[in-house]
Chains A and B, each alone.
Chain A
Amino acid sequence: MTARAFLVRGLLIGLLSGFATFLVAHQVGEPHVETAIALEEAASADDPTATETAHSHDDEGTTVSRQHQRTWGLLTGSLAVGVAVGGLVALVAASVVGRIGRLSPGQSTALVSLIGFVSVALVPFLKYPATPPAVGSGDTIGDRTSYYFGFVLISVAFAAFSSLLAIRLLDEIGTYGAVLASAGVYVVAVVVAGRMMPTVNEIGDFPADVLWYFRRASLLTLATLWAVIGIGLTGLIGRLHRHERGLADRRELAASL
């Protein structure tokens, strides 16, 4: 097992996951993005003082048509994020293989993906959920961006800390206690951090059902991204491990003859 073997598999699976993410986002998410934009346009048409007529930022320069945004643009974003996350998960999996108790390479890879999904996607989503177009003011984008990434950073840092803690405790208090204690530390830390960080509420009178459909679709999109990477990479790493062990066994047998 080499870092290269992990990385190549992670990038490939990441690409595949990007396609799957695009399909889910396009099929499940786009209808609600369209509804939100239609609502935004209706709102600005009703308001005679509003100068903006569509969800574009054309006062700033380039305008991309909705047709392109929801197809090629979405595909670009999905593929790039898929490959980047796939590569990063693979490198973390390569670093921890053989270092988490007696977990096999496939098992430790699955664990890394699961912790990654929870700490990078799920927990930040619970504090700062995705917002459809028309929700979220352009004036607060700077603040909202720094809150969001600040919280991601806190969540990932505590996930890494808790994981190291669990590995330390494994030999002393056993798997059950180690997992319970470290998961508890993580949950308490993110809950306290979440309570301390500012809440963003710019919903206004946006319809609750569209907001929920959009957020459910967004969470499903993120879950697809991580699930394909986690399941795919676990399968590939497990296969690689079996293959290499088979080779080693045969070499041993040949040497003993």
Chain B
Amino acid sequence: MSQTSAAPVAPTAEVPSIPLREIAPWALFFGLLGLLILFFISADQGAISIPSGNAIHEWVHDGRHLLGYPCH
């Protein structure tokens, strides 16, 4: 940014940025959704169980081991 006075050899296109106000709702909603998915795949029915039982744990068991999440 400090070198804007130097004459550019080729016309450098300004890199666009996205206003954070525009991203915030997407980030909030999909951020929470993404974390929820990661929770169900990685940790549910190990330490905490929602719903109770172990169907989810059993079903994604191998993925849990191979993706590096704590399991037993």
Residues of A near any B CB (own CB < 8 A)? 1-4, 6-7, 21, 25, 29-30, 33, 56-57, 60-64, 68-70, 72-74, 76-78, 80-81, 83-85, 87-88, 91, 94-95, 97-99, 102-105, 121, 124-125, 128-133, 136-138, 141-142, 144-149, 171, 214, 217-219, 221-222, 225, 241, 244-245, 248
Contacts of A97 in B (CB 8 A): 15-18
Q: Does B47 contact A (CB under 8 A)?
A: yes
Number of interface residues of B (CB under 8 A): 46
Query: Which residue in B15, B31, B62 is a CB contact (below 8 Å) of A91?
Result: B31
Residues of B near any A CB (own CB < 8 A)? 1-2, 12-18, 20, 22-23, 26-27, 30-31, 33-35, 37-38, 40-43, 46-47, 53-55, 57-72
- The answer to whether A98 touches B72 (Cβ under 8 A) is no
Interface of A, helix, strand, loop or mixed by DSSP: helix
* Contact (A222, B16) CB under 8 Å given A57-B54, A88-B30: no
CB closest residue in chain B, given A248: B13
- A–B complex contacts, Cβ < 8 Å, 13 sampled: A25-B63, A64-B58, A69-B62, A76-B59, A81-B42, A87-B30, A98-B14, A98-B18, A105-B15, A130-B65, A130-B69, A133-B72, A141-B46
Query: Which residue in A70, A80, A91, A141 is a CB contact (below 8 Å) of B27?
Result: A91
Considering the chains assembled together, what is the distance between the CA atoms of A125 and B22 in angstroms? 34
- The answer to whether B62 touches A61 (Cβ under 8 A) is no
Contacts of B13 in A (CB 8 A): 245, 248
CB closest residue in chain B, given A244: B16
